[in-house]
Amino acid sequence: MTTPTPSVPPANRSLIDNHEFLADCSRYLEGLYTCAQVKKRWRNINNATWDLLGDDNELVDAIEQERTRRIRSGEAKRELAQKHIAADGPNTLHNIICNERANDKHRIDAVKVLNSLTSSPAEAEQKDRVIVTIRLGRDEPPLVIDAAVKTNTIDVTPQEELPPPRHTIMDYSDE
């Protein structure tokens, strides 16, 4: 049995089959994690091991496949959005709310969005649903309608009044 040389990475199936490791490496490629964060999470990775892992074509292919899966499923986009919203969103919304020169509608919308960021997704989903139960009789099964609420936004900004319509009076007396 031969031992691998330092230039050839060890055949380590455990990392190739480890979904969490592949996902963390994908997050590193997407800019969600730094190299130091991945190394810290996986405590046994030092710089030499990191370099050897980068030379393992099978592992690199598995990481690329995981990255492609995350992009296609929208998981990468959601995590990137969460990172940016958590970092910048509340401060930006706070600046809009406190800006006295901002349009009142924008300030109110900023309050609503900031409020929605603080609520749980399950709570928000529950608020946006309506359940209607209709019972036609004791022997009949109830008719249950469970639907999402479609919100309509009504613009109540005052508009210029239109002039009254012109009425044309036709004179047919000459005929």
Convert the pLDDT of each residue in 82-133 to its tens digit.
887 777 888 888 888 888 888 888 888 888 887 777 666 666 555 667 788 8
Q: Look at residue 158 and tell me whether its pLDDT is greater than 80.
A: no
Q: Is the pTM of this model over 0.75?
A: no
User: Residue 4, exposed/middle/buried by CB under 10 A (0-12, 13-18, 19+)?
Assistant: exposed
Place of tokens 């990137």: 80
3-state secondary structure of 35: helix
3-state secondary structure of 138: coil
Q: Look at residue 175 and tell me whether its pLDDT is greater than 60.
A: no
Q: Look at residue 11 and tell me whether its pLDDT is greater than 50.
A: no
Separation CA 72–CA 27 (nearest Å):
14
pLDDT value of position 69: 92
pLDDT value of position 24: 92
Which is more confident, 105 or 169? 105
Which tens digit of pLDDT belongs to each residue from 12-52? 567 788 889 999 999 999 988 988 888 888 887 888 888 88
Burial track 123-153 (b if 16+ CB lie within 10 A, e otherwise): eeeeeeeeeeeeeeeeeeeeeeeeeeeeeee
Burial track 79-109 (b if 16+ CB lie within 10 A, e otherwise): beeeeeeeeeeeeebeebbeeeeeeeeeeee
pLDDT value of position 64: 92
